[in-house]
Amino acid sequence: MRTVLFLDPNNRFLVRSAARLFLYLKDKEQAYYLLTKSNSITKDLWLLASEISVALLQNKSSRHVKRALEIIDSKNFHYVNISDLANLLAILEFINGSNKKSKQLFQWYMPIWNWGMAFNQELTPD
């Protein structure tokens, strides 16, 4: 895994997979290190969400939360691409006691959640 990451340390799939592997192996510090080392962290929504999640697991505050909120407030992304990040930030805001901001962020997550529910109902046999 380290060799692959050495060859392409900014590949979203590889970095997230390696971080997930290290979390599975109970090595939160290494997972966090891999995510923060990536040069794409401030531009890639999925890496950004992963880094904030791993920081939360370690009871750390991520230095990228402000950037993540700016991205969501810019409304330059389709809700499908931003829903995971918005959901994570909504949870953080709820934990920190900001219910109003939390509700606003959950609104970004709800359309994709509703789509998933409708899709699952279509697949469910009668």
Alpha-carbon distance of 19 to 81, in angstroms, equals 20
- 12 and 43 co-located in one domain: yes
Residue 38: CB atoms within 10 Å:
23
- 56 and 81 co-located in one domain: no
- 21 and 53 co-located in one domain: yes
- 87 and 124 co-located in one domain: yes
Q: Residue 69 falls within a domain, yes or no?
A: no
Buried b (16+ CB within 10 A) or exposed e, 90-123: bbbbeeeeeeebbebbbebbeebeeeeeeeeeee
Tokens of 62: 């991520």
Residue 66 has pLDDT above 80, yes or no: yes
- 7 and 50 co-located in one domain: yes
Q: How many domains, the chain?
A: 2
Higher pLDDT, 30 or 114: 30
Q: What range defines the domain where residue 121 resides?
A: 77-126
Residue 121 has pLDDT above 50, yes or no: no
Q: Residue 68 falls within a domain, yes or no?
A: no
CB 86, CB 109: distance < 8 Å: yes
- 54 and 82 co-located in one domain: no
Q: What pTM value is reported for the model? A: 0.76
- 19 and 51 co-located in one domain: yes
- Angle ∠(32,21,24) on CA atoms, nearest 5: 90
Residue 39 CA, chain-centre distance (Å), reads 16
- 7 and 47 co-located in one domain: yes
Tens digits of per-residue pLDDT, 92-108?
A: 888 888 878 887 777 76
